[in-house]
Amino acid sequence: MKSLPVKWAGEELVVLADKALFWPREQMLILADPHFGKASSFRHFGVPVPVGTTASDIARLSFLVDHTAARRLVVLGDFFHHRTGQCETTMSALGAWRESRRELEITLVLGNHDRNSMPPPPEWRVEVSARPLPWGPFLLCHEPCRHEGHHVLSGHIHPAVKLRDTFGPALRLPCFLFSDGIAHFPAFGGFTGTAVVKPRRDDIIVALHEGQIFELSA
Amino acid sequence: MGSEAATTLHPKLASWFRRKRWQPFPFQEEAWRAFAEGAHGLVNAPTGTGKTYSVWMGPLSLWLNENPDFGKWPKKETAPPFVLWITPLRALANDTAKSLLAPVSALKLPWSVELRTGDTSAARKLRHRQKLPTALVTTPESLSVLLSYDTTRELLKTLRCVVVDEWHELIGTKRGTQTELALARLRTWVPELRTWGLSATLGNLEQAMQVLAGISGGERRLIRGPRDKQISIETLLPESIERFPWSGHIGLRLLPAVVRTVGQARSTLVFTNTRAQAELWFQHITAANVPWAKKVALHHGSLDRQVREAVEQALRMGAVRCVVCTSSLDLGVDFPAVDQVIQIGSPKGVARLLQRAGRSGHQPGVVSRIYCVPTNAFELVEYSAARTAANSGHIEKREPLDRPIDVLVQHLVTLAVGSGFEEEELLREVRQTFSYQNLTDGEWQWAMEFVTRGGPALRAYPQYQKVVRHGERFGAANDKIAKLHRMNIGTITGDMAITLKLQGGGVLGTVEENFLAKIPAHGRFIFGGRVLQLVRIKDMTATVRLASDASGILPNWGGSRMPITSQLGVAVREQLDAARRGVYDGPEMEMVRPVLQIQASWSRIPAPDELLIEFVRSREGYHVFIFPFEGHFVHEGLGSLLAWRIARLMPRTIGVTMNDYGIELLSAQPIDLGLDEGAWKKILSPDRLLDDLLEGINATELSRRQFREVARVAGLVFGGYPGAMKGVRQMQSSTGLLYEVFVRHDPDNLLLDQARREVLDRQLEVVRLRAALERLTSAKLLMQPLVRFTPLAFPLWASRLSSATAHLTTESIADRIRRMVLHLEDAADETEAARA
């Protein structure tokens, strides 16, 4: 998999093309906003979203964990989309995945969608943190915030960058946005939308497109 | 005639007519007779000729004949439902109901006439679930909502007649298809139901009637109203052609002539093609130094309904001198006070020009007058062409849609939510409609599977629920599904409308989200004739305050790029052909003569069986101008197709610009086909048209955009509505996202296929495109190597400079991104420099 080393807050980090970040010193894999069960929730309300998004997200997750040999997975919120999506199919698929990666430690910093969902079952052994979690030089949280003395890693906004030129339609690519002490993570889930962000000078943008990484820092 | 009328019209109604001192028109009597004989029918008559009563008297007579005994008329209650009157515009419903009520009240019939539209109060809607009025005036959407209640079938069992007003507005649209399906349902419930329609003139009236009445049995009659209504089409000619803008400008040079013309009459409608132009002309006309400048009003679709209604009311009372409007006043009730109409810019189509002209001079024997105001030299040719076509009766057709699967899917859920359906019976019923007569078993099964199980990709997925089977019948899975579906019935989709609110004041109207997205914080724009400054946008409401200075602001929103119709394209080619032979007929052609003579002497004017191709080299590169005269959309497809085919022969980037007349291809390198006619014929071949279009043009991007509408109609996304149901908010998703999920996980979904089909049919107008290519391959090619731009080429060149152009390229996406990254950095540098 394509990866891009980024030095930030004095730490060596690696951006992975599959919308996650690896922190080698802690052997920590970090991602945000998987929104598991979103498709099921839509089906519950009569919108026939095709099957396959959860399976492909889980496959990507497995690949990332194995590829990085991460010891810990941190999810920066919105692990689940909504309680109506926490159906048998979704839960058993995730449960089976958890079983297959028993050694992996998992930490979830709760997001706004998690509050409208049931917590992960105890047998999944997920450490849940209801508030932002300091970890070394970083503060791990869901909604972006500013914090004295910490660099913030956050999700929630699903950032994307819009690229345009005079040649045809604009492209919209999910991205990492490192801006003013906050690292905004792209949404990990395959069935999630994006919000276009307007980068400022000195921001670092790492755009992701089909397994490729483009660094757009000024 | 009078005695015959007596046999078809009930004596009470005949005497009401006499009391009104109305002499029935022959077409009215013909319609009454046809109705009395049990036929279905379509009445084609201009507004202001009594077409409403040509249909309304039929059912009234029928009821009177069936209820001759006055003593037995219901006293406390009104008679049960008898007529359903469908109108495309809810703004029309009020006036329609008023006209329908006139004879009812005069004869003290025990009839109730009520409205049911999107604006109807919840209390009345609730009452309509228990009891419906004798005559219900409603819209296609509200009718569908009615079908979604299980009590409706029982309530409507006494129905005898359904009337569709302004049918020409509905046919050829998804709303029309939705209406067809609803009518088919009503006919199943009440087999003896008579279907009638009212329509303006179309090129395919006969077919329009078949679509309306369905393909099953039953006699049907096409009834034509008086055709001797005189229409005068004149052009306000500029003083000289030299001072004329070549292209795209808004042609305010003719403002004095427009003001003078308005000054001549009591009341004038000024039609523009876009809201932006309406705002602009309104600004300038009100600024004119004339005593009536205060009596000018503005009317367009974005203005608040109350504002629009006030303008309409003033127009009705003859209290305004002039209303500047867009297509928002194309439809609708009569404004007898309107003396004349002014059309700014291209008429775009023959029927459209005639319809607009017909908004004036309603009194019998009075001429309908339209004055055309050209915004560029070639519109003079269009006016001349439109008049000629109108005089010889060459009017555009409106073709019904061919089985759109999204409308069917919505209808299936509507019926399931209502009284439910039995599969075999419903399939037979759906195939009775014109649109779905060729629906295949496979398509039907797909639609059924989609609503019951979410489609093949969701097979055996228990969470999905929408339509479920109870024994032989299909019904809604639960109440929540039903409620959600009802809120989203309809096929009208558009940009999200944002409400404009004055700070500390009232609502001004709505604007498209896309437009507001382009306005910077505290940016200014013109709306409703006022200069506004954006304060903030929150929760679908934009707060604005009045600004004083309007300098440097152009209202540039809500612009549509409606192409000229092929009918008008043909007429334009004929006018040019006459000019080629030296015949300049009429004042417009006389005026444009010097321009066309330059065209003829520098290059050529093509005959109808010729295709003109001009080659010019400039500092910008190598230009090729091609002139098929097929309208903007066809040229868009054609231009991209040609550029793609050329770029495949010789890798490069080619810019494509088009207007209603032609295409410009621009490349940095010479386009090496040169003057080889054989090579050009190959490039113009209709062979592999679809493959090349799908492969070459960014059809994926177009389909993704089109999917927005399809997904909305098929119930995949929910329209924004205030106070969304609790627990539904997390259902927001963009159709772009859904599109990607479907492409990846359910590529055979018929809705994707439909989005592609709609792109080909509607945006690229593939049928027209293929016909054009077939015409062009047999045309004689006129290859003209030139040293400068001709009058025909110049507007294309000029419009490229003022607008973004499509480019066709063979670069990879990664290369593109890298290149755009550079652009992004440049832009950032510029922003930075600007801040410093």
The answer, yes or no, to whether residue A42 has pLDDT greater than 50, is: yes
- Measure the CA–CA gap between B299 and B324, rounded to whole angstroms: 6
Higher-pLDDT residue of B497, B209:
B209
Neighbours of A167 (CB within 10 A): 18
Residue B152: pLDDT band (50, 70, 90) is very high
Contact at 8 Å (CB) between B381 and B576? yes
Sign of CA dihedral B86, B206, B407, B743: negative
pLDDT at B556: 46
CB contact under 8 A, B817 and A191: no
Contact at 8 Å (CB) between B528 and B303? yes
CB contact under 8 A, A48 and B731: no
Q: What is the mean pLDDT of the segment spanning B296-309? A: 86
- Measure the CA–CA gap between B237 and B582, rounded to whole angstroms: 21
The answer, yes or no, to whether residue B248 has pLDDT greater than 60, is: no
pLDDT at B415: 96
Q: What is the mean pLDDT of the segment spanning B641-668? A: 83
CB contact under 8 A, A53 and B741: yes
Contact at 8 Å (CB) between A159 and A174? yes
The answer, yes or no, to whether residue B112 has pLDDT greater than 70, is: yes
- Measure the CA–CA gap between B463 and A88, rounded to whole angstroms: 9
Q: Testing the interface with A: which of B731, B810, B812, B829 to mutate, by most A Cβ within 10 A?
A: B731
CB contact burial B694-708 (16+ within 10 A = b; e otherwise): bebbebeebbbbbbb
Quote the distance between the C-alpha of residue A144 and its chain's center.
13
The answer, yes or no, to whether residue B384 has pLDDT greater than 90, is: yes
Higher-pLDDT residue of B645, A1:
B645
- Residue of chain B whose alpha carbon sits nearest to that of A45: B481
The answer, yes or no, to whether residue B140 has pLDDT greater than 50, is: yes
The answer, yes or no, to whether residue A127 has pLDDT greater than 60, is: yes
Residue carrying the six token digits 């029927």 = B351
pLDDT at B560: 47
Q: How far is A44 from chain B (nearest CA, A)?
A: 5
* Lowest-confidence region among A43-52, A96-105, B730-739: B730-739
A50: chain B residues, CB-CB within 8 Å: 454-455, 457-458, 741-742, 745-746, 749
- Residue of chain A whose alpha carbon sits nearest to that of B450: A48
Cβ contacts of B369 within 8 Å, gap of 6 or more: B231, B232, B234, B339, B340, B341, B357, B360, B361
pLDDT at B385: 95
**Across-strand partners of A43?**
none
Mean pLDDT across chain B: 83
The answer, yes or no, to whether residue B607 has pLDDT greater than 50, is: yes
* Lowest-confidence region among A141-145, B363-367, B503-507: B363-367
CA distances from B603 to A123, B275, B511, B671 (A): 82, 37, 45, 20
Higher-pLDDT residue of B213, B675:
B213
Q: What is the mean pLDDT of the segment spanning B476-497? A: 78
pLDDT at B813: 55
Q: Testing the interface with A: which of B824, B826, B829 to mutate, by most A Cβ within 10 A?
A: B824
Backbone angle region of B345, left / alpha / beta, with phi > 0 → left and psi within -120 to 50 → alpha: left
* Lowest-confidence region among A115-124, A147-156, B53-62, B749-758: B749-758
Could you tell me how many CB contacts below 8 A there are between chain A and chain B? 134
pLDDT at A166: 42
CA neighbours within 13 Å on the CB side: how many for B654?
29
Partner B contacted by A10 (CB < 8 A): no
- Measure the CA–CA gap between B433 and B176, rounded to whole angstroms: 11
CB contact under 8 A, A214 and B818: yes
Gyration radius from chain A CA atoms: 17
Quote the distance between the C-alpha of residue B235 and its chain's center.
25
Written as six digits, the tokens of B24 are 């029935």
Q: Testing the interface with A: which of B406, B410, B461 to mutate, by most A Cβ within 10 A?
A: B461
Q: Read off the pLDDT of residues B528-546 as tens digits, 9 standing for 90 and up.
A: 777 888 888 776 678 888 8
Dihedral, CA atoms, B364, B366, B367, B373, nearest 10 degrees? -120
CB contact under 8 A, B463 and A81: no
Q: Which residues, numbered 93 to 112 in chain A, qualify as contacts with chain B under a Cβ-Cβ cut-off of 8 Å?
A: none
Q: Which amino acid is at B812?
A: S
Percent of chain B with pLDDT strictly greater than 90: 39
Q: Which of B163-177, B443-457, B699-713 has maximum average pLDDT?
A: B163-177
* Lowest-confidence region among B396-410, B612-626, B704-718: B704-718
CA neighbours within 13 Å on the CB side: how many for B94?
7
ipTM over 0.85? The verdict is: no
Q: Read off the pLDDT of residues A166-180 as tens digits, 9 standing for 90 and up.
A: 444 567 899 999 998
Percent of chain B with pLDDT strictly greater than 70: 84
A39, A89, A214 member nearest B817 (Cβ): A214
pLDDT at B234: 94
The answer, yes or no, to whether residue B473 has pLDDT greater than 80, is: yes
Dihedral, CA atoms, B93, B97, B98, B101, nearest 10 degrees? 180
Q: Which amino acid is at B599?
A: Q
Residue B834: pLDDT band (50, 70, 90) is very low
Q: How far is A101 from chain B (nearest CA, A)?
A: 26
A46, A165, A207 member nearest B465 (Cβ): A46
- Measure the CA–CA gap between B36 and B61, rounded to whole angstroms: 8
The answer, yes or no, to whether residue B93 has pLDDT greater than 60, is: yes
- One-letter-per-residue 3-state SS of B643-657: HHHHHHHCCCCEEEE
Q: Which residues, numbered 804 to 823 in chain B, qualify as contacts with chain A under a Cβ-Cβ cut-off of 8 Å?
A: 804-807, 809, 813-814, 816-821, 823
CB contact under 8 A, A89 and B817: no
The answer, yes or no, to whether residue B804 has pLDDT greater than 70, is: no
Partner A contacted by B122 (CB < 8 A): no
* Lowest-confidence region among B117-131, B553-567, B582-596: B553-567
Q: How far is B640 from chain A (nearest CA, A)?
A: 11
The answer, yes or no, to whether residue B557 has pLDDT greater than 70, is: no
**Across-strand partners of B468?**
B475
- Measure the CA–CA gap between B556 and B544, rounded to whole angstroms: 17
Q: What is the mean pLDDT of the segment spanning A110-115? A: 94
Mean pLDDT across chain A: 91
pLDDT at B762: 76
The answer, yes or no, to whether residue B2 has pLDDT greater than 50, is: no
CA distances from A205 to A162, A173, A218, B232 (A): 11, 11, 9, 63
- Measure the CA–CA gap between B678 and B316, rounded to whole angstroms: 61
Partner B contacted by A46 (CB < 8 A): yes
CB contact under 8 A, B816 and A199: no
* Lowest-confidence region among A141-145, B197-201, B324-328, B554-558: B554-558
The answer, yes or no, to whether residue A49 has pLDDT greater than 90, is: no
